[in-house]
Chain A
């Protein structure tokens, strides 16, 4: 008999139940190897934390508690009252950046904008992102400085309100 995967009760603001998976921690040696690998490949990223119990979507929408599949991201953001911005120029700290690969169907990755460089040259990567790289580490990085498999940042979402 197959074991059932556990999950937590999570809902969006419009009361949609967010599918999620409660996942056990990865072995510390495996986590150390992962950090070593990615910091070696991307020397400019800044390590914050590492755990296998949540993923990038879990960081953004579930306070680092569970794994949430990227296929649910748009439904969650919409249900939580986020709206899509026109591009990176409109993004501010606290906003959400979504990555897609060349297939473009569902997101591959998501992160939170933590800084915006206001003085920049044309086409310069102005946004600094905090994101969880799969079930490996949580890193601060330039928005385009991610593993190739994530593709590139394509969508920017905000929940900012200014009455």
Chain B
């Protein structure tokens, strides 16, 4: 099954009926994770262009207005896409989650988006620096769920820099490893915008 076929199945009424058997997010995930279409789509996420297609489709579906008072007809599909993106491409998942959280009349997709955006619930234990000034006197803003990492410039920075940053407004109570990823043992700290961080 290729990605397009998997996405067709995920957006079919049968998928929606099948996954709405769940009464909690834990059971919802238990239903979707072993689903053939979900497994196929997750496998396809390594193929160039597929993550972008899933993100674009999610953003497209979000824009569709639900009928009157009814739930968004693609709620289950968007939830599935968010989960797949979260597993395979956290940066795209965050973009999609932000879009989903801005809409009403959603249930499962809203819950998965909340988990993706809320480190206290997501407990990812990892974070990516997304702003890193070279002067150690500056505060550092970071995300503990997902984020953009625009700095090759982080590599030459020493651990002592991070100690200095820890005395600033945002505490980074962890170490910096070779993969440029911070393991955020303080998962749950509120992510601040760059503007908030530097004022």
Contacts and interface: CB of A to CB of B under 8 A. Distances in A.
Given A30-B16, A101-B30, A136-B17, A149 B22 contact: yes
A3 B23 contact: no
Q: Which of B14, B24, B73, B105 has the most CB of A within 10 A?
A: B24
B20 interface: yes
Contacts of B104: 3
A154 to B, nearest CB: 15
A25 B71 contact: yes
B107 A147 contact: no
Given A3-B102, A33-B13, A33-B16, A52 B71 contact: yes
Interface in B152-196: none
A26 B74 CA distance: 11
Contacts of B17: 30, 33-34, 36-38, 136
Q: Tell me if B's interface is mostly helix, strand, loop or mixed.
A: loop
Q: Which of B30, B67, B73 has the most CB of A within 10 A?
A: B30
B93 to A, nearest CB: 16
A109 interface: yes
Q: Which of B22, B101, B114 has the most CB of A within 10 A?
A: B22
Contacts of B18: 37
Contact of A70 (B23, B31, B107): B23
A37 B30 contact: no
* Interface range for A: 35 or more
B71 A134 contact: no
Contact of A56 (B16, B23, B73, B103): B23
Nearest to A1: B102
Contact of A24 (B21, B22, B27, B71): B71
Interface in A107-150: 108-109, 132-136, 147, 149-150
Given A24-B70, A27-B73, A134 B13 contact: no
B135 interface: no
A5 B114 CA distance: 11
Interface in B4-42: 13-14, 16-18, 20-24, 26-27, 30-31
Contacts of B16: 30, 33-34
Interface in B55-75: 66-67, 69-71, 73
A30 B18 CA distance: 10
A133 B71 contact: no
A135 B102 contact: no
14 contacts: A3-B102, A3-B104, A23-B107, A27-B71, A30-B13, A30-B73, A33-B13, A33-B17, A71-B24, A101-B30, A108-B27, A133-B21, A134-B20, A149-B30
Interface of A: 1-3, 5, 23-30, 33-34, 36-38, 52, 55-57, 67, 69-71, 101, 106, 108-109, 132-136, 147, 149-150
In the complex, the 6 A-B pairs of residues with the closest C-beta atoms, listed nearest first? A34-B17, A2-B101, A33-B13, A134-B21, A55-B23, A37-B17
